[in-house]
Structure 1
Amino acid sequence: MASTSQRKRGRDDGRSALDADIQGLNHALDACHLQPAREAYDSAGALLTTIRDSTADEEDYMDLGRSCVDVCRALERGLEGGQPDQVSPSILEAIKQLTATLAAIRKETVNKGKRDMRSRLFNRKDREDAIAGWKQDLARILQIFHTELSVKNHTMLTDLHRHALARQESTTSQHQSTQASVTAGETPPPAPRAFFGREEMIEKVVGMAENLEPIALIGAGGIGKTSIALTVLDHSRIKERFGGKRRFIRCDKFPPSRSNFLRRLSQAIGAGIENPEDLDPLRSFLSSEEILIVLDNAESILDPQGTDGKEIYGVVRELCQFSNLCLVITSRITTVPPDCKTLEVPTLSMEAAHNVFYGIYEYGGRSDGIDDILSRLDYHPLSVTLLATVAQQNKWDNSRLAGEWGRRQTGVLQTEHDDSLAATIELSLASPMFRELGPDARGLLGIVAFFPQGVDEKNLGWLFPAIPDINTIFDKFCILSLAYRSDSFITMLAPLRDHLRPTDPTQSLLLCAAKDLYLTRLAVDVDEDSPTFGETRWIISEDVNAEHLLDAFTLIDADAKVIWDACADFMKHLYLHKPRQTILRSKVEQLPDDHPSKPKCLFQLSRLFELMGNHTEQKSLLLRLLALRRTEGNDFQVARTLRELSNSNRLLCLFEEGIREAKEALEIMERVGGDYSRARCLETLALLLLENNQLDAAEHAISGAINLWEEDQQFNICASHRILGRIYRRKGEREKAVQNFEVALGIASRFEWHNNIFWIHYDMAFLFCFKHEPDDAQAHITQAKLHAVDDTQ
């Protein structure tokens, strides 16, 4: 650590240096006849005096003073030998900017010295940020003065060699032009003021740029690629590494061709070569110093189907080979040179999206409604920004904003200056690569947009049998960042989905064809004993898509029996493979009672609630179904519904009510049903009597069921013997209980019904435990665990 005397010597040296600089500015002021420049010198002298008198012990302010002196010296050299009326308008404007900047800096520096302002306005972080901003302003003005000085020097050198030999004159002129232009170059656009949630990616890109690695930032339109690139260009470490050799080229601002790209590259790096035919004349400029070049919106020039696409690709690939050059590409398409390290730009985090939104929108506080809208936008940066901007410009409160979103969805994302999400998306659809995909491409995107999960990539051939090279087309969608892969599905971001989704599904021939394919798929028999049962497991991964399809088409044609029958089939698929609630429930309940599909839908819906354990809702649905069946006068269906209802009451422990319903079902089936139907009623009645402790009646009922089962109904025979074993266990008749459990276990083992095996072992373990036979009980517990694991697998 420096001693007190050392620090004092440092402050004294600093003040001496400032005194010398102030004296130099006074000399420049005396010698200058251009009034704007005199005002600038005067402001600079006043600022240095303030720094000397109040902040000379602070190195960051001393560094700011040195930056001020550098700018003034550049101005002095630029004006040297010229007349006031010969100064260019750009220099005059820059001098005025310099005077205003110096005055503003001095004002804040004076405020800094006031005790009551020090802690509130000038803590260390704020001070560092303020000084960094001022130095950036001074650096920008310094660049303008350097440019003017370079042009002036070039003119003088040209005059000096005017009478040289023609070849020497040509060579010298070209060299001087080159040197002047390299100094001039182009200053990158400023970084965005507010930028949230990209710290990790920016740090990664900065690190790669410091290693001079070629980088490609890939993502959909509006994802934030350009903002990341500009923030990297403005990063302190990048400025320190590359200084003024930081270039930014908007590739969508010139017609895509090899010659236009080379011309624009020459302008950006300051080579001054008007129409280079290739990189050869630019090579000396590109290789002279370390340089960072950003090619923004590079999909405009790297589209393989675009004008000179392959030739431009070759030039860009060659740029990646320069060892002193870092190339950063932002692009919607992934066709970038292989040397580029590709970074996929994700959407924002929830918190970053909130910061972006509320950094713009000031007419309402944070609310669940707004959070939901941002979530439905997938936290897409441009969409979040546009939503906040539109709401702010229109002064909408939270309620109005939620209402507009509900009415227009992403149609609301258009500002008064015609910045819109639609324009961003349509730009991708206008690309040569997309147009090359043919007339079905837009419709195919509409299918991806329609389905919430997107399209299962394994099913492309099944879903679009008439379209050749369908896999290639979907690959191109991903290359264009119009879609992306998520697990086995090809899907897209929510804002794109909302824009590209068919407004009228019936007008999309592709979607109507897809609907017919799904309906055919749902109609496949899903009985567990059916040989096609395994084929129906597709619903496990595509349940959301199938549900959305049915939901959409029930709105379009509420009376169509084929759609509602498919709804019942869908719920049956869920029952067997993925029991859960469904958004179709309210629509099923709202169907007219005379709709032919309503009973079937109510029945399948009640089964779902049974498996989910919500027996109150199951009973409610069955009571409505029972009323419909009684109105129809179909006794068989009345009895079937009564049996289901009695089972629901058993699960609700309403045994007396369930017994009455089971007996009524049995009476009807004695008249209209076969042996199988009567046996099912007896089985249900036996379970109710068992739970209600009417054991003799239960034994009589289940014995009657066993006598009615056919030989091929082994599953039912197994279940009935298990019930009879439970009855004997409850009655305390150990041997009879074991005998029936073993019959059931033999059948279940023969057919490898692991779930049944588990429960039979469980029942036998319970029996032996109750009879104080711990060894046998433990053996059956062990077997039950084995089959529980096997069943899970």
Structure 2
Amino acid sequence: MNSRAVDHVETVLRSQGEESETKLIHVARNSLGDLRQRLDQQSHRFALVSVTQLTRDASARPNIPADLNRIKPPPKPPIFHGREDLVQTIVDLLLKDETCRVPLLGAGGIGKTALVTTILNDERVKKKFGENVFFLSCESLVSASGIILALASALGLQQDAGARQAVIHYFSSFKYVLLALDNFETTWDSDDRAEVEALLAELAAVSPQSLFVTMRGALRPAGVDWTDCILDTLDPLSLDAARRMWMRIAKKVDSKLDDLLRLLDGLPLAIMLMAQQGQVLSSSELLTAYTEERTSLLSQGAAGRLTSLEVSIELSLNSRTMQAEPNARKLLSVLCLLPDGIPMLQLNHMLPSMPHAGRSVRVLLHAALAVNKAGRISTLSPIREFMLQKYPPEDADVADTRAHFTGLPQLMDRLNGPKTEALDILLAEFGNMNTVFLHFWRDSPGPDAVEGLLEATLNLAQFSVLTGCGDCMLLLRTASISLDGTGNRQGAAQCLQSMGNALPVLKNRYSEAMEKLEEAKATFEAIGNRWGAAECTQRMGDVLRMQNRYEEAMEKLEEAKATFESIGNREGVAQCVRRMGDVLYMWSRYEEATEKFEEAKVAFQAIGSHGQVALCCKVLAEVFMAQHKTAQAQSLLHQAIDIFTSIGLLEEVHYCRSLWDELQGPRGLWAPARRLFRRLRGRPHS
């Protein structure tokens, strides 16, 4: 949106032929973009200084620098056999000038991820693409927005409703770029499929970008012109490739090996699991055990045709190593709740009732049922699916896991100030928290667990808005349905309110946001919660402002202000007045905006909200800058910087200093920009 606005401005400038405005194109393109962003998202700059305030205003985003390690390709698998020709074919395509778009399809455990990581780590591919090779696991992502926000966060890009365009622009800026979306079926096979396919088509249309998706099944996502080198599902490994893979792991062979391998259907994950046991058992012994295990499972009423992977997992679970450590299976069941795994050092803290967790981890690693990636213990998706269906975690372990993850969002009250360890933890565990909370809501939590789970869910959703990390819409929707079904109308309304807060910020879905807020408001009014109803009305004013519907926005804010006054909520009144200033500022009614911001500043001073006082000073400075009132702007920036420094909001200090630098820039910049944007929007001069 910002880039289109700037392009439009340039067109208008050139059509006018005014020397001062033509110079503006060359001097201030970035400033125009910054101004447009500030006009559109002014309220998001109002950082808040407590969790209570954070949950009421989607504004203060912690400064999250790029972390490319989160989308760095995994290392090449140490054991890879049987698909060398396919690797060569795809690498040859990648080395050509034109882009390619490759779907890697097939059953769970067929080796899709191993294939794509082998390709991404090929020296010829690395030489061509350099550092511009990106790999995103989609296991914990349930929507198109989830993919975009995960990419934007890792790349250090804009993390709000403009994130999609920012990501596309980023990838478009390279001569060559390669993106792999792993376990894409999780995102694609969701209620958001149409939007997911639209995003995939948009990514595929980026001219310098080659694209991989790995996903279970045989259907390719629609909307992309897939390269026809491999459109079918991956074939199983040949007997020869399976034998070579076995030898690399088990290091021994006997006359029954081929008979055993034929039972494994050429499925790499099944072969790996069985070969791991082949280090201590002969092929003959394993063949007998495999046959007995399959017969036992069928006799227990296993539905449908048992796959070689299911039998192999069962055989691994019943191995002597696993049987010698009873907690190993229990730990595996818990790990299967966590798509992003868990740091090994956190296991004892997360599972205090499970003794010797470290020993259990070593057993799981030895049995190849878990993997260690940079100190995080996790398990593969096919194993997760099997275990959760057949061996869900025990109640005590579920309670421990719930307690651990519901406590993490409380770290939000440590996010103020410079980058903190709390921020790192929340970013690393976001996918796990989203998945775990969703699991618990679907499992109809008991009354004793609901309060803490609801608080954690709302805090996680707010963290998503603040950081642009992930997508909590499915979580909030599921929680709302669960709460409503048990008669908890207050909690259900809070979830709807949270959805209404997030939708306009992360997705530009204004109409849907208004619907959620109206529904939440009606529920709050029905149960006598006037505070909640007023907050919904206030947020509706914000959403209307974002759509440039200024008169309607002012009406909503006046309504919310009146309600807050009637219940004696001074902070709510001050917030409404400040938001009125936002509306008037965007409306270019600067004198009225100044009055509102001054009024809000006095109100915040009266209740001791120093952070909000500083924020009012900052935005007042911007209003004066827009009117070329440099002295007033400088004075207010000094005040804002002093307060922000004293309370540790260093990101706001940096922002104020950037405004100070703008004051030292070319004179005459702001008036032409204002005039052009009024023309762009069809606004009259004030």
Query: What's the TM-score, normalizing by structure 1?
Result: 0.45
Candidates 487, 492, 501, aligned match of 2:379: 492
Deviations 1:516-556 (A, max 9, x none): 33234445663645999854652311222222222222222
Which residue does the alignment assign to 1:81? none
Which residue does the alignment assign to 2:314? 426
Cα separation, 2, equivalents of 1:698 and 1:199: 55
The residue type paired with residue 550 of structure 2 is F
Candidates 308, 330, 333, aligned match of 1:446: 333
Cα separation, 2, equivalents of 1:758 and 1:532: 13
Which residue does the alignment assign to 1:517? 404
Decide whether the 8 Å contact of 1:647 with 1:658 is kept in 2. Answer: yes
Per the TM alignment, residue 719 of structure 1 is displaced from its structure 2 partner at its CA by 0.9
Deviations 1:150-200 (A, max 9, x none): xxxxxxxxxxxxxxxxxxxxxxxxxxxxxxxxxxxxxxxxxxxx9999999
The residue type paired with residue 433 of structure 1 is T
The residue type paired with residue 667 of structure 2 is K
Candidates 490, 493, 518, aligned match of 1:596: 490
Decide whether the 8 Å contact of 2:431 with 2:470 is kept in 1. Answer: no
Which residue does the alignment assign to 2:241? 228
Which residue does the alignment assign to 2:550? 655
Per the TM alignment, residue 250 of structure 1 is displaced from its structure 2 partner at its CA by 4.8
Cα separation, 1, equivalents of 2:372 and 2:590: 59
Moved more, 454-463 or 628-637: 628-637
C-alpha distance 520-441 of structure 1, shift in aligned 2 (>3 A): same
Candidates 460, 470, 478, aligned match of 1:587: 478
Per the TM alignment, residue 660 of structure 1 is displaced from its structure 2 partner at its CA by 1.0
The residue type paired with residue 604 of structure 1 is S
Deviations 1:745-793 (A, max 9, x none): 333344453432343244444455463499xxxxxxxxxxxxxxxxxxx
Which residue does the alignment assign to 1:742? 638
The residue type paired with residue 450 of structure 1 is L
The residue type paired with residue 625 of structure 1 is A
Which residue does the alignment assign to 1:607? 501
Decide whether the 8 Å contact of 1:690 with 1:698 is kept in 2. Answer: yes
Is 1:709 the equivalent of 2:604? yes
Per the TM alignment, residue 626 of structure 1 is displaced from its structure 2 partner at its CA by 2.2
Cα separation, 1, equivalents of 2:570 and 2:362: 57
Decide whether the 8 Å contact of 2:365 with 2:372 is kept in 1. Answer: yes
Q: Secondary structure at the match of 1:472?
A: helix
The residue type paired with residue 586 of structure 1 is R
Moved more, 464-473 or 715-724: 464-473
Cα separation, 2, equivalents of 1:300 and 1:422: 15
Q: Secondary structure at the match of 1:538?
A: helix
C-alpha distance 464-226 of structure 1, shift in aligned 2 (>3 A): farther
C-alpha distance 742-428 of structure 1, shift in aligned 2 (>3 A): same
Decide whether the 8 Å contact of 1:441 with 1:473 is kept in 2. Answer: yes
Is 1:435 the equivalent of 2:323? yes
Backbone CA RMSD of aligned residues: 4.5
Alignment length, in residue pairs?
407
Which residue does the alignment assign to 1:641? 536
Cα separation, 1, equivalents of 2:285 and 2:347: 27
Q: Secondary structure at the match of 1:548?
A: helix
The residue type paired with residue 675 of structure 1 is R
Cα separation, 1, equivalents of 2:563 and 2:274: 75
Q: Secondary structure at the match of 1:490?
A: strand
Cα separation, 2, equivalents of 1:508 and 1:600: 28
Deviations 1:570-622 (A, max 9, x none): 32343345533222143245453852311222233333335425251443432
Cα separation, 2, equivalents of 1:772 and 1:531: 35
Cα separation, 2, equivalents of 1:248 and 1:534: 50
The residue type paired with residue 228 of structure 1 is A
Decide whether the 8 Å contact of 1:252 with 1:298 is kept in 2. Answer: no
Deviations 1:67-102 (A, max 9, x none): xxxxxxxxxxxxxxxxxxxxxxxxxxxxxxxxxxxx
C-alpha distance 671-528 of structure 1, shift in aligned 2 (>3 A): farther
Which residue does the alignment assign to 2:24? none
Decide whether the 8 Å contact of 1:588 with 1:602 is kept in 2. Answer: no
Decide whether the 8 Å contact of 1:455 with 1:489 is kept in 2. Answer: yes
Per the TM alignment, residue 491 of structure 1 is displaced from its structure 2 partner at its CA by 2.0
Per the TM alignment, residue 665 of structure 1 is displaced from its structure 2 partner at its CA by 1.9
In the TM superposition, 1:415-564 aligns within 5 A as 420-437=308-325, 439-501=326-388, 503=390, 505=392, 507-522=394-409, 526=413, 528=415, 534-535=421-422, 537-557=424-444, 560=447, 561-562=450-451, 563-564=453-454
Per the TM alignment, residue 502 of structure 1 is displaced from its structure 2 partner at its CA by 5.0
Q: Secondary structure at the match of 1:665?
A: helix
Per the TM alignment, residue 658 of structure 1 is displaced from its structure 2 partner at its CA by 0.8
Q: Secondary structure at the match of 2:625?
A: helix
Decide whether the 8 Å contact of 2:412 with 2:422 is kept in 1. Answer: no
Per the TM alignment, residue 478 of structure 1 is displaced from its structure 2 partner at its CA by 0.7
Per the TM alignment, residue 227 of structure 1 is displaced from its structure 2 partner at its CA by 4.1
Which residue does the alignment assign to 1:414? 306
Which residue does the alignment assign to 1:249? 254
Per the TM alignment, residue 472 of structure 1 is displaced from its structure 2 partner at its CA by 1.9
Q: Secondary structure at the match of 2:336?
A: helix
Is 1:568 the equivalent of 2:458? yes
Which residue does the alignment assign to 2:561? 666
Larger RCO (CA under 8 A, 6+ residues apart): 2
Cα separation, 1, equivalents of 2:111 and 2:644: 64
Deviations 1:724-754 (A, max 9, x none): 2233333443322322223223333444534
Deviations 1:433-465 (A, max 9, x none): 22111x322222211223222333221111222
Q: Secondary structure at the match of 1:501?
A: helix
Cα separation, 2, equivalents of 1:195 and 1:672: 62
Cα separation, 2, equivalents of 1:432 and 1:501: 22
Cα separation, 1, equivalents of 2:497 and 2:612: 21
In the TM superposition, 1:382-397 aligns within 5 A as none
Decide whether the 8 Å contact of 1:252 with 1:297 is kept in 2. Answer: no
Decide whether the 8 Å contact of 2:477 with 2:496 is kept in 1. Answer: no
C-alpha distance 423-730 of structure 1, shift in aligned 2 (>3 A): closer
Unaligned runs of 5+ in 1: 1-193, 202-221, 235-245, 255-295, 307-311, 313-328, 333-381, 387-407, 775-793
In the TM superposition, 1:233-312 aligns within 5 A as 248-250=253-255, 302-303=279-280
Decide whether the 8 Å contact of 1:299 with 1:331 is kept in 2. Answer: no
Per the TM alignment, residue 226 of structure 1 is displaced from its structure 2 partner at its CA by 6.9
Deviations 1:36-73 (A, max 9, x none): xxxxxxxxxxxxxxxxxxxxxxxxxxxxxxxxxxxxxx
Cα separation, 2, equivalents of 1:567 and 1:706: 32
Cα separation, 1, equivalents of 2:573 and 2:274: 73
> Which structure is higher in helix share?
1
Decide whether the 8 Å contact of 2:590 with 2:623 is kept in 1. Answer: yes
Deviations 1:488-509 (A, max 9, x none): 3222223322222254757543
C-alpha distance 331-573 of structure 1, shift in aligned 2 (>3 A): farther
Query: What's the TM-score, normalizing by structure 2?
Result: 0.51
Cα separation, 2, equivalents of 1:464 and 1:199: 34
Cα separation, 2, equivalents of 1:199 and 1:633: 56
Which residue does the alignment assign to 1:243? none
C-alpha distance 483-641 of structure 1, shift in aligned 2 (>3 A): same
Q: Secondary structure at the match of 2:331?
A: helix
The residue type paired with residue 587 of structure 1 is T
